[in-house]
Amino acid sequence: MFLSINIKMPKNKQGGKNFRGKKKSSKNADANSIERKLETKSDGQEYARVSKLLGNCRILAVVHDGTEKLCIIPKKFKFRVWIAKDDIILINIRSFQDDKADVIYKYLPKEVKQLTKMGELTNHIIESVDITNNTTIQNDQVYFDDSDSESESDMNNDVNNDVNNDVNNDTTNDTKSVEKERKELDEFNWDEL
């Protein structure tokens, strides 16, 4: 004799097998709509532009007077806030080391626009940053270093000439063989076949 027990399964509130990803997407949609309060500098803080990424949570940043400072990205930013070249950041200058600073805040492009309207950012910080697209303005000019010795340039020219001669010889040999085959075909008596 079997007893049947009527057991109801609980309602699925999580969203199925891959519920974690679905839950995150709804949270991210809400997080993007929230406005951040604009952070401005206070005592011991400066605005800076990232000039070079050094790795190991370190960057070089240009401050308002045009000097570069070594800035340390804190662990709380790691994998949460991505800092790239030419981003505008807020740094806290160390009182015991003038050449080093700590990153406090990274500004979004619309926040950079607000700061420039307020007159907070100087020319050294904004000079190579395009505020509308947050990309670097690049010149179409190419600059070469004139410190190469003549012997190196002569060697480079010799190598380039050798390569060009080899390519030219190969193409002339190929064209000669093609012309020779065409002459043979033209001279062949097709009527005998």
Least-confidence region, from 25-29, 80-84, 182-186:
25-29
Tell me, what's the pLDDT at 48?
95
Answer whether residue 136 shows pLDDT above 70. no
Cα–Cα distance measured from residue 98 to residue 44, given in angstroms and rounded to the nearest whole number? 11
Answer whether residue 132 shows pLDDT above 50. no
78 φ/ψ angles, rounded to the nearest 5 degrees = -60, 125
Tell me, what's the pLDDT at 170?
60
Q: Does residue 179 form part of some domain?
A: no
Q: Does residue 70 form part of some domain?
A: yes
Q: Does residue 123 form part of some domain?
A: yes
Cα–Cα distance measured from residue 172 to residue 159, given in angstroms and rounded to the nearest whole number? 20
Q: Does residue 116 form part of some domain?
A: yes
Q: The domain spanning residue 56 has which CATH number?
A: 2.40.50.140
Q: Does residue 167 form part of some domain?
A: no
pTM comes to: 0.52
Least-confidence region, from 39-53, 59-73, 110-124, 130-144:
130-144
Q: How confident is the model at residue 47 (pLDDT cuts 50, 70, 90)?
A: very high
- Among candidate residues 69, 100, 88, 66, the one with its CA nearest the CA of residue 136: 88
163 or 4, which is more confident: 4
Tell me, what's the pLDDT at 184?
75
Tell me, what's the pLDDT at 175?
75
Answer whether residue 119 shows pLDDT above 50. yes
Q: Does residue 176 form part of some domain?
A: no
Q: How confident is the model at residue 179 (pLDDT cuts 50, 70, 90)?
A: confident
Q: Does residue 87 form part of some domain?
A: yes
Q: How confident is the model at residue 35 (pLDDT cuts 50, 70, 90)?
A: confident
Range of the domain at 97: 45-134
With a CB cutoff of 8 Å and minimum separation 6, the contacts of 87 are 49, 50, 106, 107, 134
Answer whether residue 192 shows pLDDT above 90. no
The number of domains in the chain is 1
Mean residue pLDDT across the chain = 75
Q: Does residue 82 form part of some domain?
A: yes
